[in-house]
Structure 1
Amino acid sequence: MKAVIVTIGDELLIGQVIDTNSVFIGQELEAIGCTVVEKVAISDTIEAIIDTMIRYQNKVDLVVLTGGLGPTKDDVTKKTLVNYFNDELIFNDEVFLHVKKLIEGYYNRPITEMNRQQAYLPSKCTILFNDVGTAPGMLMVKEQTTFVSLPGVPYEMKYLVTEKLLPYIKEQFKLEAIVHKTVLTVGIGESLLAEKIEQWEDSLQPLNIHLAYLPQFGLVRLRLSKTGSSVDAIEAEILQKIRELQLLIPEFFIGITNADSLFNEVVLLLKQSGLTIATAESCTGGSIAQKLTSVEGSSGYFKGSAITYATESKVNILGVQQQTIDTFSVVSEEVAREMAIGAKRIYQADLAISTTGNAGPLKGDGDAEIGTVCMVLAYGDQVESFTFNFGQPRNKVIQAAVEKTWLILYKYLKNKQ
């Protein structure tokens, strides 16, 4: 089954609003075996929407449109559907009662004529009732293509996708099994890696296994994907090719993960292990802690963070010895070691990771070269120390240090399993 996702709105085209809807829809469709062949953002005009619908008519099975639904005059999707399907708008009592109840009951204000207009829907559409908002979804079929129009408000869209659209797709379409496996490699760039595994990559084609390169700071993720009738058979084929890859590049091969990022894999491993973590950050300025607390359930594994940016704060808060700083410089593995041990002690955590470095553009209090970052992972009575130089500019240094944190934690937590 092939699908296209269309996001509607001038605000998306000019960058005023970031499109997160298509990401969510794509992930949900892919998870049930639907292949998204294209995503497109268009302006909210009748001409643009109709041109897009014509473009995909009978070329794909499903077109999901988000945006352009609501009480304001610039929401034109309903008018477009009426035009495209040679239909008319009719008043739906059930939708009106829902809108009225929501506006007058929840929002505690009188319903307006503009709100009332949301109860007018194309007569030929299947209504996807929106229990969390006023704009219902609409589903209409023309020849070989199903068109679904959803509101652009993210939480309303998510509700309609999970509760209405996905069950419809599962019931109406024949879906193939789809399997993804992602391999982590480190210590080798994308282009050199591609050269080393060229023959192996060629061997995937006769098996209809698709390979995607997903590079990040310091690592390259290789995603192997295949669709078919049997999940077990597909997994067996992919895992065999992964074993061949491991033998081909043992020094760069880290492992298999199905998380969509290394960070999410770290979070999963932290939750599974039951271990707690604290951070002591200087040059990263709290970026590691912010990321660790950005997901639900982080209180289960995150104990706290000391952002000791100034040299004296490392001494006063974390207990770093002034003599250590004087002897080795504030940007050193020795200082990072005492920072990590201090954070682990203060927050009574199982693990602690620290960063101290010269992110630039000036050296600050450290003697190390600009771009240098020292990091230490403390666990039990042991520590692991690391020194990197991430070059410039400043933002790259900070981002690279954060990404390197996930790799350090991933290796440790994976070995603990």
Structure 2
Amino acid sequence: MEKIVASIITIGDELLIGQVIDTNSAFISQELNKAGVWVKRRVAVGDSKEEIVRALNEESRDTNIIIMTGGLGPTADDITKPVLAEYFGGKLVVNEDVRKHVVYLFEEVFRRPLIERNLKQAEVPDVCTVLPNARGTAPGMWFEKEGKVFVSLPGVPHEMKGLIINEVLPRLQQTFTMPFISHRTMLTAGVGESFVAEMIKDWEERLPAHLKLAYLPNYGMVRLRITGWSTNSDQLEKELNTEFDKLKILVREWLVTDEDQSLPLALSNLLRSKNKTMSTAESCTGGYIAHLITAYPGASNIYKGSIISYDNEVKIKELKVSPATLQKAGAVSEEVVKEMAAGALAKLNTDYTLAVSGIMGPDGGSPEKPVGTVWVAAGDRNKLITQKFQFRFDRDRNIEMTATQALNLLRKFVVENA
């Protein structure tokens, strides 16, 4: 079966100048993929008739579905509706159902005065199918031309999501016969994508044509995702499981999780499965590791807290680091992170902890301890392990790399010593 492919066009000058971050495309891509639609391209254009028309022409050449977001508001810079009316050979007319909905929202829900500009939201091209927007005033619009489907949606994420789920996907599934698309994702850490690719190249070369491997590297980690498509869902699932198991064996030394999870979530789930708790003692990361752990619901089940000992005085008073150790070895040292970890275990009464101290930059380094030098300690009351890292990036990335390596060091300790 031929794949059904789509393009996503986001409209708005604010996207091009970086004033607004485009989160709509990611959501639309995910939902289309679940429904069996392969997203081929994502394009951003400004509030320009010429650019919108050019994008429509280019994207409709080799895709079945074109989904647009943005430019449907009541102000002068929102030009999408008149452009689409002209493009599809129609004219703007007032849709009575939309008009009633707008009146209802302003009079009963918003309880604000309704002006003529608001009522312009009820104007739609007479050549489209109106998609009711239960969450806002701007309706979605569905066009068909030469066997292709064009959908225009409001740019407000909450409204767009409602229309995608309740209106667009059901109509697409009625219009097209979708293949079945499925994924398997795992996370590795501690080795780069080039090394992983070299290790698994023979297996990758033998993959069937309808299975594709993607490498998704990020800060010391590599996600490996196998994607497959077929008309036979049972057969596809069996093939994916078989190949995924083979891949897990090949990368087992660096495997963090065989699910599509982040490293902090994988560590949290590991601790939760063992009914264990953790704490952190952070110096150079300033609480960033705590933030990563607590970003997920249920973190309180496994995480008790952190002592952010950015200054040596806090290390001494709160973590009981010896002034003599600081004087002799320096704050960025194996000796200090071990004492920080021991202090956190005692102070916060957790099963496991990790401690970090380093020089993030751009200054503060020395010939003996250049910028990017980091010491990490992880362990429990019976045993602590340490590791030194030497990062070479800017401050933000050094902090992120430190957090990643620290979390992975603790994960490995839990796996090997539980």
TM-score scaled by structure 2?
0.88
Aligned residues: 415
> In the alignment, does 2:89 pair up with 1:82?
no
CA contact (8 A) 2:81 2:125 kept: yes
Q: Deviations over 1:81-128 (max 9, x none)?
A: 211221222222332232223334443320111101001122332222
**Structure 2 partner of 1:158:** 161
Letter in 2 for 1:230: N
Q: Which amino acid aligns with 1:340?
A: A
Which residue number in structure 1 is paired with residue 242 of structure 2?
240
Does residue 98 (structure 1) correspond to residue 95 (structure 2)? The answer is no
Give the corresponding residue for 2:403.
402
Distance 1:288 1:8, change over 3 A: same
The superposition leaves residues 266-316 of structure 1 with CA deviations (integer Å, 9 ceiling, x where unpaired) of 455566665444322110112222233334554454433222111111112
Residue 215 (structure 2) aligns with: 213
Map of 1:6 onto structure 2: 9
SS at 2:36's partner residue? Answer: coil
- Cα 1:133/1:269, change in 2 over 3 Å: farther
Opposite residue 212 of structure 1, the aligned amino acid is A
**8 Å contact 1:58–1:145 — kept in the other structure?**
no
Three-state SS of the structure 2 residue aligned to 1:212 is: strand
Structure 2 CA distance for partners of 1:351 and 1:247, relative to 1, 3 Å: closer
Q: Which amino acid aligns with 2:113?
A: P
SS at match of 1:387: strand
Contact between 1:331 and 1:356, CA under 8 Å: does it hold in 2? yes
Partner Cα distance (1:39, 1:364) in 2: 43
- Residues 246, 253 of structure 1: 8 Å contact kept: yes
Matched, 1:284 2:271: no
Alignment partners' CA distance in 1, 2:270 and 2:124: 48
Instruction: Out of 325-334 and 58-67, give the one that drifted further.
Output: 325-334
Q: Cα 1:66–1:353, aligned 2, differ >3 Å: closer, same or farther? A: same
Which residue is 1:256 aligned to? 258
Structure 1 unmatched runs, 5+: none
CA pair 215-50 structure 1, distance change in 2 beyond 3 A: same
Partner SS state of residue 258, structure 2: strand
Report the Cα distance in structure 1 between the residues aligned to 2:215 and 2:158, rounded to whole angstroms.
31
Matches within 5 A, 1:140-159: 140-159=143-162
* Per-residue deviation, residues 322-341 of structure 1 (Å, max 9, x unmatched): 23333443222332233234
Question: Counterparts of 2:174 and 2:56 in 1: how far apart (Å)?
Answer: 23
Pairing partner for 1:66 from 65, 69, 72: 69
Letter in 2 for 1:10: D
Give TM-score, length-normalised by structure 1: 0.88
Q: Deviations over 1:109-155 (max 9, x none)?
A: 20111101001122332222222222121122222111111111122
Question: Which AA in structure 2 matches 1:49?
Answer: I
What's the RMSD between the two structures over aligned residues? 2.9
1:125 aligns to 2:128 (yes or no): yes
Q: Where do 5+ consecutive residues of structure 2 fail to align?
A: none
Determine if contact 1:228/1:234 at 8 Å carries over to the other structure. yes
- The equivalent residue for 2:22 is 19
Q: Could you tell me which residue of structure 1 aligns to residue 312 of structure 2?
A: 311
Give secondary structure in 1 for the equivalent of 2:215.
strand
Contact 1:311 / 1:365 at 8 angstroms: preserved in 2?
no
Q: Distance in 1 between matches of 2:411 and 2:179?
A: 33
What is the CA-CA distance between 1:210 and the residue it aligns to? Answer: 0.8
Structure 2 CA distance for partners of 1:207 and 1:14, relative to 1, 3 Å: same
Shift of 1:402: 1.7
CA deviations 1:335-376 (Å, max 9, x no partner) are 223323433444444443221112234447997443221222
